[in-house]
Amino acid sequence: MKFTTLCAGVVLAAASACAAAQGAPEATFPSRPIRMIAPSSSGGPVDVMARVLAQGLTEFFGQQVVVDNRAGAGTIIGTDIIAKSAPDGYSLLMGLSTLAIDPHLQTKLPYDAVRDLTPVSLAVAVPNVLALHPSVPAKSIRELIGLAKAQPRSLICGSAGLGTSPHLSAELFKTMAHIDFVHVPFKGSGQGIISLLGGEIAMMFPALPTAIQYLKSGRLRGLGVTTATRSPAMPAIRAINETLPGYDATQWFGVLGPAALPRPIVDRLQQEIVKALRNPEMKTRLTNEGADVIASTPEEFSAYIKAETDKWGKVIKDAALKPQ
């Protein structure tokens, strides 16, 4: 009788544990590979940041974190995939500054970033850099402004796409310097860099990690970084702010999931992201490439997105850019 009762108790306890595990998948998260969408082409800054972080998370989770490049529509296609994914933590987005820009430039976004995405952690912030093809006869910001004023719309400026951080960095520069040039959007920074290296365009504002190897080799000329201060990765390049006081256009990258992502999964992801980013080897690697490690909380990231949305809304209005 006692044996029967004991067996029944064991069976019930096991069943309860199994039911609890089935009802709370976060208890065993992650139990299979995680997909991280990079909403850009390979070789661009989003792709670079996604792969660096995915490598670190793979080591800490013991599960493969696979980067899936989904370029198109200025990051909208890739972002929409995550907005419509199941909130289980196995589909993540390497989001970026366009999340704060698109609401002001796109009339028919298929998602609402605030409603349809869950901020996990603001990973890094990086400067863009005003990079010229060496054939352009300007060795400083002042010389470039003088050239643009002397020959209006003679310079072609590429970007990673309409409404991307490189595009808005260029628009802010154009507004504050009172100059004009031709804007050509590409499908990602990678394609723009190729055209810049080939001399098909004169200038671009790519993320510093994307352009740093070409700047160091002399294949591109760096005139200024877009952050308020110089980058420790390339301190010889002045900040545009030194010539145009008040200029500041920081590009940022962070991890988000779909809406309704369970808080235990959000917390687990955030903890491992912070651990990976603050690993001395990874932090040194990112710093050397021009990135500033942030590793924020979900609440800090959410507040930052709101502040950036307000800021770029004003820039877009001042630049008289029309929603598409």
pLDDT in tens, 278-295: 999 999 988 888 889 999
Sheet of strand 34-38, all strands in order from the earlier edge strand to the far edge: 65-69, 34-38, 91-96, 250-258, 117-127, 292-293
Domain ranges across the chain: 32-125+250-318, 129-242
- The structure tokens 């909130």 sit at 87
Q: Does domain 129-242 have CATH number 3.40.50.1820?
A: no
Domain at 32-125+250-318: CATH architecture: 3-Layer(aba) Sandwich (3.40)
Whether the pLDDT of residue 144 is over 90: the answer is: yes
pLDDT value at residue 13? 43
Q: How confident is the model at residue 25 (pLDDT cuts 50, 70, 90)?
A: low
Please tell me the predicted confidence (pLDDT) of residue 14. 44
**151 has a pLDDT exceeding 50:** yes
The reported pTM is 0.81
Determine the Cα–Cα distance for residues 87 and 64; give it in Å rounded to an integer: 18
**Are both 32-125+250-318 and 129-242 of the same fold?**
yes
Per-residue CA distances from 186 to 23, 51, 163, 206, 256 (Å): 45, 22, 11, 12, 25
Give me the pLDDT at residue 5, please. Answer: 44
**Looking at per-residue confidence, does 22 or 30 come out higher?**
30
What pLDDT sits at residue 249?
A: 93
Identify the pLDDT of residue 24: 62
| Pair of tokens at residue 275 | 């651990």
pLDDT at residue 45, rounded to an integer: 81
